[in-house]
Structure 1
Amino acid sequence: MSQICPDIISFPESPATHPERWVLMNVFTRQCLGVGPEVMTVLANPDVESTATYRIWRIWRFSHIDGLLADPSRFKRDAGTWGDPQIVDHATLIKLLKDQCIFIDDLASYRARFDVKKSLLDRQRFGTYHQQLGQQLIAIERRDPTAWWLEQKFTPDLAAIRQDNLYGAVQDRFLDQWLPRRITPGMRILDLGCGAGTIAQKMARLGASVLGVDPNPEYIRRASERAEGDSTFQVLDLNSPGALDALPAASFDCIYMSDALLFYFVPYEPGKPLDLLRFISDIKRLLKPGGTFLSLEPHPVFYIQPWLGDPARPFTVMTEYLHTHWRINPPLATLTRPFLDAGFTVIGIEELASDPENPKVDARAARFAAEFPVWLLVEFQAPANA
C-alpha cells in the first residue's frame, strides 16, 4: 500500500506567466517533481484508482554538476524552462511519485536506503553528497573529477578564484580582506592541500615564506610554474602515514588548510578512514610554540542547503546536523574537540558571508550566503610549550 513519504514539502513555483505549477520535494533525498494542482488530490488518497489524467514536469536535475557551490536545490528554478507538461494516467503518476521518493511502499525499507554507497554503481543507497557527486561525474557524465574541480573553482589560467560563483563571492572576498590582517612579512607558512597554489600565492604576495604541499602532481606542477615571491611547492600524499615526517619540527608560524579537513571526519571513500589523531599530532609537531592552525571548511550547518523562496529573501530547510548522512562536514563540537583535547586553543571563529548586492553572482545565491554562511574559519593556537 502506497503512502506519502513523511519527508515531503510542497510549494508553488507559479509565476503569472506559468500558473498552477507546484514542486513536490523530498528534502532528505533531494528528489522532486513538478506537478499541477490536480496531483494534490492524489497525495491524500494514493490508492484510490481514478480515470483522471495529471500534469507532471520532470524538473529534477543534479544541479551540483554546475559546481560545488552552485544552487543545491536540484530543480529547474525558472518555470519557463519546464517545457510542456507530460500528461499521465493514475498508475503512471504513482510510479513517478515513487521514483522520486514522494510515495513509498515501506517506511523501514526507505529509511534503510540512507546509508553510504558501496560503489560508484550503487543506486540503491543515497550516500553522502560527495559520493553522489562522484557517481554523477564518473559513472554518468564520464568526466575527470580533478579537472572538473579546477574548472569550477578557478579561472582558466588557474591564477585566481572565479568571481562568478560563491567561491569568489564568499571565500576569495573574505581571504582578500582577512589575510592582510593576519599575515606579516617573514612568516613561515605551510599550506596543506594547496591545490594549484592560488591561496599560497596570496600569502606569498603578503611577504610570507610559503610551502605548499598537495598529493596531486599536476596541481603542484601548475603551482610551481606560477610561483611568486618566497613560495615553493612539493608533492606530498597527505593521506599516507608519515607523509609529513620529513618536514622539520617547530618550523612553521602558521599552517593553513581549506576544504580538506572534513575528509578526516567523514572519509571520501567508505571503509578507508583517515587518521585524524595522527594528523593533529603532525600539526602540533610542525608548528612553532604558540603557532596557529587555520582551518577553512564548508560550514557545518548551511553548506549545500537548498536555496528556496524568493531571490530577495531565500530560506532553507534544515535536515541534519549532529548525525551526518548527506553532508560530510562535521558539527562544530566534533570539529574542535580533538584539537582541544590535544592542547590547542580556539582563538578565533569567522563565518564567511557574501555581499548581498554582488552583481557577479546569482541574486538568490548572494542573498542566501549573506544570511547563511557557507564557510567557517576556525583559528587553533598550539600550546606555547609545544
Structure 2
Amino acid sequence: MQAGHAVLRRVAREEDRRGFHYRDRVARNTIYDQFAEAYALHSEHSPANAYYDRPAILGLAGDVSGRNVLELGCAAGVLSEQLVERGASVFGVDREPKMIELARRRLGGRARFEVADLSEPLETVAASSVDLVVASLVLHYLPDWEPLLTELDRCLVPGGELVFSVHHPAADWQWFGRPDYLRTELVAETWPVGGQEVSVSFYRRPLSAVFEQLHRCGFVVDTVGEPRPLPELNDLSPDAYVELSSKPVFLFVKAFTVG
C-alpha cells in the first residue's frame, strides 16, 4: 500500500534494522487508521504509487471491461476507481474501516467496499465469483500467504487471475542489512506521513518464498515484472525516476488458477 525506497519513503532507525521473527501474526500498523486521510493523499500522488505501482498493476491486469475484480487492501479506492473507469465491476476489501469509508466516499455506488481481514476467510466473497484479484502492496503484511492464496483459489473462477505487487525481496534484504536472506521475518521502518514519522512493519521474505507459496496453492505464474516507471515522472521528479528505473523497488506478479 505504500511507496518505494530512499528518496521515496524510507527513514530507517537503528532498532528497525534488527528485524523480528513473529511468523504467527499479521503486521498491524496504525498509519492506515490514525493517518487515513493523510496516507490516502500521499499514496494517490507519490511517485512510486502513481507513476510506478498502479500503472504496472493495471498493465498486468490488461482489459478488465466486464470482469468481476476483487481488490485486496483497497485503501481509499484510488486503484479501484481506475479499474472501474476501465469497465470492471469492483469489490474492494480493507481491514481499516476509515479506509473503507474513504473509498465509499470516493466512488459512491460505482463499486462495493467492505471491511475484511486478509488473515481470515473472505466470507463475503462467493466461490468461483471473481475473474481477477488485484493486490497492490499488501501481501507483505502477512506472515504466511498460503491461507489467503487458498481462499483466493476458492473465490476465483477456473483460470482466474491474480495480479499483485510486493516489496522486492532483494531491495528489502539490502535495505535492512539482514544476515539471513532466506529467512521470512518481520521488519519495521519509518515513513513521513502527515508531517509525522510513523513506524510501519511488514514481512521481508526471499524471492523463493513468493513463488513456492503460489505453487503450493495451485497458482501458475504467467508474468514476473520489474518495470520502469512512467516516462513523465522524469519531468516531475528526476531523482525518483532514476531510483525507480535503476533499483529493484517492487516485484510484480501475474498468476492464474488451473482448477
TM-score when normalising by structure 1: 0.52
Equivalenced residue count is 233
Cα gap change, 1:255 to 1:172, in 2 (>3 Å) = closer
In structure 2, what is the Cα distance between the partners aligned to 1:344 and 1:294? 11
Identity %: 24
Gaps of 5+ in 1: 1-66, 76-99, 102-109, 119-129, 138-142, 154-160, 266-274, 307-316
In structure 1, what is the Cα distance between the partners aligned to 2:35 and 2:248? 25
Higher relative contact order (CA 8 A, sep 6+): 2
Partner of 1:171: 53
> Match of 1:238, SS?
coil
Aligned with residue 205 of structure 1, among 72, 77, 85: 85
Partner of 2:156: 287
1:291 CA displacement: 0.4
Matched, 1:342 2:217: yes
Q: Which has the larger radius of gyration?
A: 1
Cα gap change, 1:117 to 1:300, in 2 (>3 Å) = closer
Matched, 1:263 2:138: no
In structure 2, what is the Cα distance between the partners aligned to 1:216 and 1:345? 31
> Match of 1:152, SS?
helix
Matched, 1:359 2:235: yes
1:351 CA displacement: 1.0
Cα gap change, 1:353 to 1:229, in 2 (>3 Å) = farther
Aligned with residue 373 of structure 1, among 234, 248, 259: 248
Partner of 2:75: 195
**Does the CA contact (< 8 Å) of 1:353 and 1:372 recur in 2?**
no
1:373 CA displacement: 3.0
Q: Deviations over 1:254-282 (max 9, x none)?
A: 111111111223xxxxxxxxx53321211
- Give RMSD over aligned pairs: 3.5
In structure 2, what is the Cα distance between the partners aligned to 1:246 and 1:173? 28
Aligned with residue 278 of structure 1, among 123, 130, 147: 147
By percentage of residues, which structure has more helix?
2
Cα gap change, 1:217 to 1:74, in 2 (>3 Å) = closer
**Does the CA contact (< 8 Å) of 2:173 and 2:181 recur in 1?**
no
Matched, 1:322 2:182: yes
> Match of 1:183, SS?
coil
1:333 CA displacement: 1.1
In structure 1, what is the Cα distance between the partners aligned to 2:69 and 2:11? 39
Partner of 2:196: none
1:305 CA displacement: 5.4
**Does the CA contact (< 8 Å) of 1:354 and 1:367 recur in 2?**
no
Partner of 2:39: 149
TM-score when normalising by structure 2: 0.75
Gaps of 5+ in 2: 189-202
**Does the CA contact (< 8 Å) of 2:173 and 2:204 recur in 1?**
no
Cα gap change, 1:73 to 1:254, in 2 (>3 Å) = closer
Misfit runs of 4+, over 6 Å: 317-320
**Does the CA contact (< 8 Å) of 1:188 and 1:252 recur in 2?**
yes
**Does the CA contact (< 8 Å) of 1:254 and 1:291 recur in 2?**
yes
Aligned with residue 250 of structure 1, among 125, 128, 135: 128
> Match of 1:168, SS?
helix
Partner of 2:192: none
Partner of 1:217: 97
